[in-house]
Amino acid sequence: MSLPALIPGTASRKVEHVKVVLGTDVQFRKKTTMFEDVRLIPKGGTHSGDFAYTIDTNTDFLGRKIAAPIFVSGMTGGHDKVAKINMDIAGGVSEVGIPMGVGSQRAMMEHPELAYTYDVKKEHKDVILLGNIGASHAMVYSVKQIKEMLDKVDADFLCIHTNPGQEAAQVGGDIKYKGALKAISDVAENIDRKVIVKEVGNGISKEVAAMLAKTKVAGIDTGGAGGTNWIAVELYRAGGTRSMDIYRDWGLPTAGSLLEVKSAFDGFVTATGGIRTGVDIAKAIALGADACGLAYPVLKAQSRGGAKGVADYLRHIIMELKVEMARLNCKDINELRGVGYTTHGQLKHLLEQRVGRSLLQREPA
Ligand SMILES: Cc1cc2nc3c(=O)[nH]c(=O)nc-3n(C[C@H](O)[C@H](O)[C@H](O)COP(=O)(O)O)c2cc1C
């Protein structure tokens, strides 16, 4: 495994991440999201004659109206070479009417002149924007500094990512997590935006969700296993200098994480990590997610077709969701939330041990 020479610094790391994710197979290998262990039960009745075209996917995202229960999960910013990626994603989501996140804004904290690489609203004012900072950086910066960081790009919400697995695998990663919960809690209590806590692919457990439930955090994004694998990305970047291969497939699968979080947290919950089809999205919504996040597939669509590629891809996945909703006889997202489901295999086994029987299945409403 060889990699071009590393460019030092937070900003350059963001360029490398994009290159590695697009150029190498760093998705989970054996582990899946476990959504394949969910079966949805169609409601009785017959399909609408107009099929998928009359199905309404509009929904609510923390008080904002959006066109479908989907958002683009935060990925990048912080270097001139990735500014266009954010702007293209903004162009795509603006056409479709769903929110987007930017990647960690740490680079603009360190170099304020890089703020423009995240500032997609200067061209796409209507975009609902999720700002982003790491939990370990929420410990370092004051609430006032974080608020200024969000103001500079007019972010509507703040995502705080917790990624101890990635940091542990990253050469020079920041593994000081003592005090992170208090920092998250302080920010959520004192900042003028709703805060979502997210993982990046190792999943949030019910124990973590229960701790967050005692804070003012408004939302949790599962960031579960089954999609992009950040331990794999960092091991690849380390070029064989890290002996952490045993952790290559570590993480709580997205479907399991979703139900664990739902068992312990009453707030807004989103499912991210390996969401790849409209069927995955329908299953996540039926299991209780308010929306689903996608990262890697959107990055791929952007690299191939710019803003148009992003918009086309998002329209395609929304159409897949509509077809699945038509199959299930659900005319809108509220009906999808009430659809019956059963769980099987590994997921059922996990849930029996972790959340008890109540979430294992649901009879159709
Ligand atoms: C190139 C790239 C960069 C990312 N950078 C960040 C980041 O800076 N902050 C963050 O919270 N998540 C980051 N993520 C994680 C995503 O938001 C998402 O949680 C994860 O990739 C799982 O989704 P996926 O399987 O659809 O890719 C990044 C993802 C990608 C693909």
The amino acid occupying position 350 is L
Give the integer Cα–Cα distance in Å for 35 and 275.
9
Q: Which residues of 292-312 are buried (b: 16+ CB within 10 A; e: fewer)?
A: bbbbbbbbebbbeebbebbbb
Tell me the CA–centroid distance for residue 275 and ligand 1, in Å. Answer: 12
The amino acid occupying position 342 is T
Phi/psi for 260 (5° steps) reads -60, -45
Q: Which of 73, 108, 303 to mutate to test the pocket of ligand 1 (most atoms within 8 A of CB)?
A: 73
Q: How far is CA 341 from CA 205, 272, 355, in A?
A: 22, 20, 16
- pTM for the full predicted model: 0.94
pLDDT of residue 1: 29
Give the integer Cα–Cα distance in Å for 279 and 156.
29
Tell me the CA–centroid distance for residue 283 and ligand 1, in Å. Answer: 21
CATH class for the domain made up of 30-362: alpha beta
pLDDT of residue 29: 87
Give the integer Cα–Cα distance in Å for 302 and 89.
7
319 burial via Cβ count (<10 Å: 0-12, 13-18, 19+) = middle
Protein residue whose Cα sits closest to atom 13 of ligand 1: 75
Q: Is the CB of 132 under 6 A from ligand 1?
A: yes
Tell me the CA–centroid distance for residue 46 and ligand 1, in Å. Answer: 40
pLDDT of residue 5: 34
Report mean pLDDT in 10-residue bins for the chain, 365 residues. Answer: 42 88 92 96 68 85 98 96 97 98 95 96 98 94 97 98 88 85 97 98 97 98 96 86 80 97 98 98 98 98 98 97 92 94 97 92 86
Q: Is the CB of 74 under 6 A from ligand 1?
A: yes
Protein residue whose Cα sits closest to atom 6 of ligand 1: 75
